[in-house]
Structure 1
Amino acid sequence: MQLKHKIVTLSVMPLIVSVLFICVLVFAQSRKLEEEQARLVESSIMAAKKAEIKNYLELALSLIAPLYDSGRDDEEAKQQALHMLSRANFGLDGYFFVYDRHGKNLMHPRQANLVGKELIGMKDKNGLPVIQALLESAENGDGYQLYTWEKPSTGQVTEKLSYVVMLDRWGWMLGTGIYIDDVEVATLKSRQEVATGVLTTVLAIASFSLIAVLVVFTGGLMLNFTEHRLADRKLSALNQRIVHLQEEERSRVSRELHDGISQQLVSIKFQFELASLELENGQGRGMENLRAGTARLGEAIGEIRRISHDLRPSLLDTLGLSPAIEQLVREFEQRTAIRTQYERGLDDSSLDMDVRVTLFRIIQEALGNIERHSRASAAIISLASSQGAIALRVEDNGVGFDPGLMDRSQGIGLRNIRERVDHHHGTFTLSSMSGRTELQVEIPLQRA
């Protein structure tokens, strides 16, 4: 083999191996991202559906409340309540059902053949005793139960999420549910989107690699130290792009969660409609339902604002870092009643946006840890310029913990803080004892 061929081979082989390694790494990371995103989508949808069916059941309880709260236990009152519930359907497959404590079906608007039957031993296709599990959830659990049931619109057996409560005086279990076959569709769509993105990335890498190999073969001895430095810069740009993609993903999820609150608003609309009907009929509960719906609407608006702010605060983009931190502190104090002081000693107007995001996310994560773990009554946030570096300090008077357990912990919060600081070539220290926990971060000014 001639020398130039040896040089080309020695140049091409590391490139090919590196490309293969990157492709394997991309596939491995994509699988992890795919699973994480699928879990996030599934958990978000399930949380929304739980809130939705709970709101529907509260609406049903409000329908029969005049009869139940009147103290009447006669059969006529019960039959009136069952009649009202049988007509209170929602959507294509939404309905309410009633069982007694022994598993006897008292009302089922979509499967009349079940009414009057003892179904305590009925099992779904997975072997779960459905009615028994629902009774246990109503008596001792949180009221939610997942099982399989026949979907009225299609006649197929599919997954169903139900929420049940006990009406103790009448001995009734009242419940409703939502079929969740669409969760699997949404999860599959999420996986396909990730897979499409990964395929595009791999094709881009493969195309770039093919061009690079052709250049190496045609150029031969032209490979030198400059080419290696160019490859390093591109790898650094790829890493930076990953960070940007994470922030872009947060913004996208923020919009999706914002739209996902619509189910709760639909439930509020139903309550307003109920209040309107009661007011037209001169019933006294109309104003009460109207006020309750208004209060829940305010809660929904507040939840939208809170979720959107947690994912991407608008003040960080419009007014800068300090106003965003001040808003974060105010919301933290309102939510937790922990007195929090923000000491501003830094002009952040000239800071790079990446550094602003890093500092804000670190403070956000630190306050989240204080809220979840510290049992503190006061906290201090200090941001200043010190000895050619940006100095951030977050301190609280909580119970403390052992910092030596941090590296062995399964949590990712402190790990994310460390990775963000390392990205800017900064330093991160954490000290803790009973009554005082302090987090300190320093980022060189030339990096900011």
Structure 2
Amino acid sequence: MQLKYKMVALGLLPLLLAVAAVCLVVLEQSQRLGEQQARLLEHSILGSKKTELRNYVEMGVSAIQPLYGSGRDDEDTKAKVLALLASLNFGSDGYFFVYDQHGRNLMHPRQPELVGRDLWQLTDGTGLLVIQALLGSAREGDGFQRYGWQKPSSGQMAEKLAYVTQLQRWGWVLGTGLYLDDVDAALAQVRHDVAAGIRTTLLASAGVALVAVLLVFAGGLTLNVSEHRLADRKLKQLTQRLITSQEEERSRLSRELHDGISQLLVSIKFQFELASRELGAGKSNAGETLREGTQRLAAAIGEIRRISHDLHPSLLDTLGLPAALGQLVEEFRQRSGLDVDYRQTLDDSPAGGDMDVALFRIVQEALTNIERHAAARRVVIDLQRRGRWICLTVHDDGRGFDTGQVERLSGGIGLRNIRERVELFGGRCAIQSGPGGTTLDVVLLRSDLPADEESPT
């Protein structure tokens, strides 16, 4: 993707995100209002149905009051009461039912096959013990109960709201109910209307967003060509700097291999050839020659280990960053003779992978600059964890330098490498230098650590 298109995309993304956020807010608010409207409608309909059911039951009780209130408890009177209740109907699916306290059905005009059956363990589709729930509502609750029951007119299971009351003298429970499929239909219609309104709003928002996107895209294509060229030139400079850094690293490695390892290996070869000739001649100093060759071989192995450590310290993978920095500091102390104070509090922190490598390279680059240019006598390295932040400070008491002048005259590759490594992880880097010394401060965020502290100042 060309730079101008990237810039256009940079202008479009915030706009699209803003439109998407507005649409999400509208969608959420509309859905919330729709659900509130549906709940209010459901509450209103259920309230009217409860009133209607209570009136039906009171009507049924009034109809049987002459028989029930006569005080007669014979079977003939009970049979007349059941027959009277069975004859009372309202609507296509309205009827009365009667159960005794043990869950046995005494009267059911629409499902006569249930009469006389023990329905104590009868459950609906949700696992509710229907008869037990009805008896419990009549005995302890307000008399209302929702459950699933077969609708007589359709033969299908439907949700039903019942109201029951007790005929205590006979131990009966009298009740009736209304099916709630009309409530479900009304709620479905409300939700459908809300969804249609949401779709209309979203389509209108999409139209506005499309017009805005076209305007931004047209404006983005007219960006100044000089800015485009400037961005390309900076990209080329960055590429050249990367190539230069790679070539410098390759040259350094080539010099170390040629001047160090290669010379040692040639010397070891000559030493072993000399020992072979001395052994063939039976000279007594052949053993001493072999020992010298072995010592030079050990030096070559150590040099290879040092080069390997410079390329990628193995301690980073095995013991972690604190141990790897400790070894680096010890080698620097022995090589330079400087007094190095190394402090760290990361021993209990998990390994950080690429971030640990970046911190190691930053310290390595800083120590290299100190050894070459600072003329310092003492170095302080402080590596601390503050919550999710890793704070690194490298200070020396050398002669200091002008950071701006160094970057202008010499390219400041080392300093740029440090800044680019920090920027790669979204951290912060500050370099302060003067006649009294140089201080490098680096702050990196570790997302895998617990956030128990705020960002360091």
Q: Which bin holds the TM-score, normalised by the shorter protein?
A: 0.3 to 0.5
Select the structure of larger CA radius of gyration.
2
